[in-house]
Amino acid sequence: MPSLAIFLPLMAAAGLLLIPRLGRRMILRIWIATAAADLILIAIMWLGYHGGIGYQTRLRWIPSVGAGYHVGIDGMSLPLMALTALLFLLCAVYSLRETERVRAYAALFLFLETVSLGLFAAQDLLLFFVFFDLSIVGMYFVIAGWGHGDPARSALKFFLYTFLGSLALLLGFIGLYLGSEPHTFDMVELTRHPAFANAPGAAGLVLLAIGVGLAVKTPTVPFHTWLPPAHTDAPATGSAILAGILLKMGAYGFARIAMPMLPSAWQRYAWIVIVIGVVSVLYGALVALAQENIKRLIAYTSVNHMGYIVLALGAAGLATGNPQARELAVTGAVTQMVSHGLITGALFLLTGVLWDRAHSYDLNRFGGIAANAPTFTGLTAVAAFASLGLPSLSGFIAEFQIFAGVIGTGVPGAVVAGALSVLGILITAALFLRVLQKAFLGPPGELTAKVSDVRPAELAAVAPLLALSLAIGIAPRWLLSLIEPVSAAIVSLVSR
Amino acid sequence: MKGMNQNPLDLLPELFLLVGAVLGLMAGLFTPRYRQRIVAWICGAALTGALIATLTIAFRPAGTVFDAYALDPLTNVTRIVVSAATLVVVILAAGWARGNRREAEVYVLLLLSALGVIILAGADDLLVFVAAYLLASIPAYALAGFAKDAPGTEAALKYYLMGAFLGVLMLAGVTLLYGLSGVTAYQPLGERLTNAPVPAVACAIVFLLAGVLFKAGGVPAHFWVPDVTEGAPPAVAAYVTTVPKVGAFLGLLRMAVEVFQGSAAGWHLLIAIVATTTMTLGNLAAFYQDNVRRLLAYSTISQAGYLLIPIAVAGRSDLAQPALLFYLAAYAVTNLGAFAVVIALGRDSLADYAGLGRRSPWLALALVICLLGLVGTPPTAVFVGKFLVFAAAWDGGYAWLAVVAVVNTVASVFYYLRWILPAFRADQGPGYEPSAAAKRVAYLTAWASLALGVGSGLVLALG
């Protein structure tokens, strides 16, 4: 069942490429239908999920090195897979007006959907790596082929940077493989019997390799420099997927691989992780505050939001901290992954509307958009408030749990880190209010006349994301009850 | 060794190639020019025969024949990879050689050189190795200058001079080893070298390496690679950058395991350093090449660097041999695929690839698969090869070498993308009609490189 969900988009992509003479509308219909079917499949799996690692499939792939095709779904991968399927579906809906090389465009997004779903379901390190690396290749072509501005340069930077990260990750995986006894790439096995139990030095090096690899993808300061140009020059849908799904791969990797498989090293270096998290939170927010380019600004808020996740996961490694609080922090981190996917996905799709109408992201050239485009303004306002952590929206649920968890550990350093990070929320609030004031309220700007209100397809793409964010914000229980057992498991695993 | 095996049938694959070459030559002598295509069929049949013969005898227990030629997985993989790769080259060459006055000679020379390459890997005696070196090289010199034009002649001359010079050095190494031990067969040689003076052995190893690195196109014996790849006919370029590497590296691996192993000379480190310089130099030189064949030439040099890594850890990691075997097979498929795209288009300038994605999307896809394959992107075959090489390096105590290889891999992305990106730009380049046979070869090899990657478990389990 997960394999079907994973490979259905890929099959559809192959079909799109192989069947000749498909019209533009037909291609878009097939794309939307496939994405919708995939979302339904995942919803069915969600309903049938009963804890633990469900829906496992194991096939031999490279038995001589202990690597296999092993997929399975648990409470952390399920919400992320659902987010993936939803966001890809909405990107398809958003692209209804796309005219440029639609066949390749749809095939590429379907390919990326397979890759993303596969990554979140992978239970084998080598398989995880395959999907991790392919996500880079797919996104490279999206940016280079359909971007604007200077896409070739941004795409190249994105490719080189994240590819370096992925190869560092591969080295780390090889280290885990060689450190395990018997040698294996199976994530379940590696979690059960952590490698390097008696070799702290080697474990530290392996964690360094894996940490760098994942930190580039997440991205955390100082590995974030690829992110702003990639986002600025990518098409709106590409940015939404990049921020909504691809960044989660890094954060997910920390929770899924680094913490449970290298518990003692994670505990030892937890403080470094916490510091990196706090720096990312503050630096991302401050740099975002200084941006005049709206899309670049949102890109930097991603650094800030992912920083909360890193902070929470670092705090979870504080062995002396209160275990309940650490579980809360991890739950917050996973919730934040989902919430950030929803909100930032929506924000990037909304900036796509700006580009579509006015071909500019310059904050100073807009003003008073609210008068021309009330629905657009309303959607942006909701997304902005969600992103700055207003209660009753998902961002609040996630960040509140993170702060409560980090501070609740009772370790003085963590309390300071948590308190510092709360400042991040303050700065984010300031910068979003600044955007709303400058671009949407106030006197009309130079380009405001061009900004017409959202079209039905755009509304249909953005509204579900915000509605879901609201649903999580008001009644988070259905999501949290899925995540909580996993975070308890992660905290107990990392405390070994 | 239990009794001497002198069964010539154990050499059936090699005999197929030899007989095929001789028959092809005879047929070429007696057929008119417009019918010489028959020779391509003869040579193709001989290569197919060698492939089938290898598959039938591949699962016999390992041994040696005539006390000078090893029959083991190493030899068998060489037979398969070299025969299959040469078959692809024959198909690629057929389009170019059609109607040439000396068409038959192309196929015969290819076959003879391939035979030499196979024996390089199978040789279990230094003298056989030397003979194989000459057999693999001399037809290749002739092929490089086959077109008799200025670049071809220069390429052939450079190729020949380097080969002759480094071959003499290699002979000096063989002489030195014989002087030290009194034997030339690998196994007794290795046993006796344990007591030989280390500096002399180290000298001999360096001399021997000279010849092997020439065949493999490794630094510092790489100077011929760019000129031959650019100057020789494209099909020949595909051949000399792919097939001789297989024999050279596997021959070196056998020597490392059987001969060098016992000696205290620091050859592991030497090869690790050569590997580092080879991949780094190849990558740096490839950066701003605007001629795709020259770009591919430097890329093959950097690949030679990665291929040297498992040899540096030979005997120290169980992964070294499977890593090298798999990487070589993967590299051969992928590199031939990239050359097939070049041959199909018949254009050498990067600018000519602009807009390829519009004009021939499938050819562009094949190019992307092959180039990303050479980078080592999963799930292509080279990815599995690279991954095994990294693992072998780490396992063998050379983790730094794996890190160097990783950094180099990232650097290599840059120039491969310089080639890929224009192909997907909207601007139209000049249009060409791709050649049909080469196009099919390109599709086939591209998909084969994917299939070999996905099915790597199956292949590794057999090996």
Chain B residues lying within 8 Å of A126, measured CB to CB: 387
Q: Is B462 on the interface with A (CB under 8 A)?
A: no
Note whether B289 and B415 are within 8 A (CB): yes
Task: Please report whether residue A106 resides in a domain.
Answer: no
Half-sphere exposure of B276 (CA within 13 A, CB side): 14
Adjacent-strand bridge partners of B65: B69
Q: Is the pLDDT of residue B356 over 90?
A: no
pLDDT at A194 over 90: no
Reply yes or no on whether the pLDDT at B81 is more than 80: yes
Model confidence band, residue A71 (pLDDT cutoffs 50, 70, 90): very high
In tens, the pLDDT along A319-354 reads 888 999 999 999 999 999 999 999 999 999 999 999
pLDDT at B3 over 60: no
Average pLDDT over residues A52-72: 88
Q: Does B58 touch chain A (CB under 8 A)?
A: no
Domains: count for chain A:
1
CA distances from A225 to A33, A138, A287, B129, B374 (A): 36, 20, 12, 53, 27
Residues A448/A429, Cβ–Cβ less than 8 Å: no
Which of these, B251, B260, B273, lies nearest to B205 by C-alpha position?
B260
Type of residue found at B462: L
Give the CA distances from residue A387 to residues A211, A339, A373, A394, B245, in Å, rounded to whole numbers and listed in that order: 26, 9, 21, 9, 56
Residue with tokens 């954060």: A251
Q: Is B394 close to A156, i.e. CB distance below 8 A?
A: no
At B457, the pLDDT band (50, 70, 90 cuts) reads confident
Residue A444 in contact with residue A368, Cβ under 8 Å? yes
Query: By three-state DSSP, how is residue B263 classified?
Result: coil
The four Cα atoms B451, B457, B458, B463 give a dihedral, to 10 degrees, of 120
Shortest Cα–Cα distance, A257 to chain B (Å) = 19
Give the pair of three-digit tokens for residue B116. Answer: 């030499």
How far is residue B60 CA from its own chain's centroid?
A: 25
Taking residues B33-50, report their average pLDDT.
92
Q: Which of A41-45, A131-135, A144-148, B136-140 has the lowest mean pLDDT?
A: A144-148
Q: Which residues of B touch A155 (CB under 8 A)?
A: 421
User: Do A160 and B410 make contact, defined as CB atoms within 8 angstroms?
Assistant: yes
- pLDDT category of residue A52 using cuts at 50, 70 and 90: confident
Which residues of chain B make contact with A129, given a CB cutoff of 8 A?
A: 378
Cβ of B460 within 8 Å of Cβ of A177? The answer is no
Residue B390's pLDDT band (cuts 50, 70, 90): very high
| CB atoms A64 and B322 under 8 Å | yes
Determine the Cα–Cα distance for residues A489 and A75; give it in Å rounded to an integer: 11
Q: What is the pLDDT of residue B10?
A: 86
**Average per-residue pLDDT for chain B:** 91
Angle at A286 between CA A284 and CA A289, to 5 degrees: 105
- Tokens 């792919």, residue located: B242
State the smallest CA–CA distance between residue A174 and chain B in angstroms. Answer: 6
User: Are A116 and A217 spatial neighbours (Cβ–Cβ below 8 Å)?
Assistant: no
Residue A277 reports pLDDT greater than 80 = yes
Cβ neighbour number for residue A436 with a 10 Å cutoff: 18
Note whether B387 contacts A: Cβ–Cβ < 8 A: yes
Q: What is the ipTM of this complex?
A: 0.89
- In the structure, what pLDDT confidence band is assigned to residue B1 with cuts at 50, 70 and 90? very low
Q: Are A60 and A180 in contact (CB under 8 A)?
A: no
The dihedral region occupied by B268, where left means phi > 0, alpha psi between -120 and 50, and beta the remainder, is: alpha
Residue A314 near residue A351 (C-beta atoms within 8 A):
no
3-state SS class at B215: helix
The answer for residues whose C-beta is within 8 angstroms of residue A264's C-beta and 6 or more apart is A194, A197, A200, A203, A496
- The answer, yes or no, to whether the previous bond of A9 is cis (omega within 30 of 0) is no
A50–chain B nearest CA distance, Å: 32
Burial zone of A15 (CB within 10 Å; 0-12 exposed, 13-18 middle, 19+ buried): middle
Find the mean pLDDT for residues A89-94.
95
* Cα–chain center distance at B234: 15
- Looking at residue B2, its pLDDT comes to 47
Q: Write the pLDDT tens digit of every residue in B151-199.
A: 999 999 999 999 999 999 999 999 999 999 999 999 999 888 888 888 9
Residue A227 maps to a domain: no
Q: Is B4 on the interface with A (CB under 8 A)?
A: no
* B463: confidence class by pLDDT, cuts 50, 70, 90: low
CA distances from A329 to A88, A277, A488, B58, B227 (A): 28, 13, 10, 58, 61
Which of B387, B394, B407 is the closest to A178 by Cβ?
B394
- What pLDDT is attached to residue B421? 86
Which residues are CB-neighbours of A265 under 8 A, at least 6 positions away?
Answer: A196, A200, A203, A204, A206, A207
The closest CB to that of B410, out of A64, A65, A167, belongs to: A167
Task: Choose among A62, A160, A174: nearest Cβ to B414.
Answer: A160
- Find the residue in A nearest to B319 (Cα): A65
Instruction: Report the candidate in A131, A111, A132, A119 with the shortest Cα–Cα distance to residue A71.
Output: A119
Q: Helices marked H in B194-291 — which ranges?
A: 198-216, 224-231, 234-258, 267-286
| Tokens encoding B365 | 């896809």
Q: Is the pLDDT of residue B432 over 80?
A: no
The dihedral sign for the CA sequence A96, A102, A103, A109: negative
How far apart CA A486 and CA B307 sit, in angstroms, is 43
Of the two residues A257 and B436, the one the predictor is more confident about is A257
Q: A123-127, A201-205, B430-434, B449-453: lowest mean pLDDT where?
A: B430-434
Over 90: is that where the pLDDT of B347 sits? no
CA distance A328 to A316: 9
> What is the average per-residue pLDDT within B425-450?
81
pLDDT over threshold 80, residue B264: no
Could you give the dihedral angle defined by the CA atoms of residues B418, B419, B421 and B426, in that order, rounded to the nearest 10 degrees? Answer: 130
C-alpha dihedral (A446, A450, A456, A457), degrees to nearest 10? -90
Domain for residue A190, yes or no? no
- Residue A369: its H or E element: helix A369-372
For CA atoms A392, A393, A397, A399, give the dihedral sign: negative
Nearest to A61 among B391, B410, B457 (CB): B457
Q: Which residues of B159-177 are buried (b: 16+ CB within 10 A; e: fewer)?
A: bbebbeebbebbbbbbebb
Residue A222, domain member (yes or no): no
Mean model confidence pLDDT for chain A: 92
Cβ–Cβ under 8 Å, residues B20 and B104 = no
CA-CA distance, B408 to B283, in Å (whole number)? 7
Q: Which pLDDT score is estimated for A54? A: 85
B76 near B321, Cβ under 8 Å?
no
* CA–CA–CA angle B3, B4, B7 (5° rounding): 125
CB within 8 Å: B461 and A63: yes
Share of chain A above pLDDT 70, in %: 100
CA A199, chain centre distance (Å): 33
A283 domain residue, yes or no: yes
Nearest to B460 among A62, A168, A177 (CB): A62
Question: Distance between the two ends of chain B, CA-based, in angstroms?
Answer: 23
Query: Does residue A211 lie within any of the structural domains?
Result: no
Mean pLDDT, rounded, for B240-255: 95
Residues in chain B: 463
Residue A58 parent element (H or E): strand A54-62
Contact indicator for A214, A96 with CB cutoff of 8 Å: no
User: Do the Cβ atoms of A178 and B402 come within 8 Å?
Assistant: no
Distance of CA B320 to the CA centre of its chain: 18
Q: Is B394 on the interface with A (CB under 8 A)?
A: yes
pLDDT for B370 equals: 95
The domain in which residue A393 lies consists of 269-496
A210-224: average pLDDT:
93
CA-closest candidate to residue B22, choices B94, B145, B84, B107: B107
Q: Residue A320: which of A417, A409, A418 has the closest Cα?
A: A409
d(CA B244, CA B117): 6
Is residue A315 in a domain? yes
Distance CA A173, CA A206 (A): 8
With a cut of 90, say whether residue A195 has pLDDT above it: no
Q: From the candidates B371, B384, B415, which should be mutated to test the interface with A, based on the most A CB atoms within 10 A? A: B384
Residue A236, in any domain of the structure: no
| Cβ proximity of A169 and A132 under 8 Å | yes
Count CB neighbours of A193 within 10 A: 12
Residue B431's pLDDT is 62
Cα separation, B320 vs B135, in Å, equals: 28
Confidence class of residue B429 from pLDDT cuts 50, 70 and 90? Answer: low
